[in-house]
Amino acid sequence: MFKELNPLLHSELRLAVMSLLISVEEADFVYIKQQTGATAGNLSVQIDKLQKANYIDVKKTFRGKMPCTLCKITQTGVAAFEEYVEAIKSYIIK
């Protein structure tokens, strides 16, 4: 039987963001934007959705005089990502 896929993570961009964050301590907005090829507006909306779900923490700081948005995956996010990966496996491993 197929496991239900988490609709929040089943979005291509949100899944890409989570995939990046699972393997690093934290990443800034510019790096995530470059890696995903997303527009700033779309990425901002998707990061906000992940933050509201408590999958990521977002910290706004400055580097010199430049604003810097840092994203870090939470324990809730790690658990959700791992569950999503296991659910995907139920579709491809039989």
Q: Where are the domains of the chain?
A: 12-88
The span from the CA of 26 to the CA of 60, in Å, is: 12
- pLDDT number for residue 94: 64
Q: What is the CATH number of domain 12-88?
A: 1.10.10.10
Asked if residue 1 lies in contact with residue 93, where contact means CB atoms within 8 angstroms, the answer is: no
Query: Full-prediction pTM beyond 0.85?
Result: yes
Other C-beta atoms within 10 Å of 52: how many?
A: 10
Q: Do the Cβ atoms of 13 and 38 come closer than 8 Å?
A: yes
Mean pLDDT (10-residue bins), the chain, 94 residues: 90 97 96 97 98 98 92 98 94 79
Distance CA 65, CA 88 (A): 43
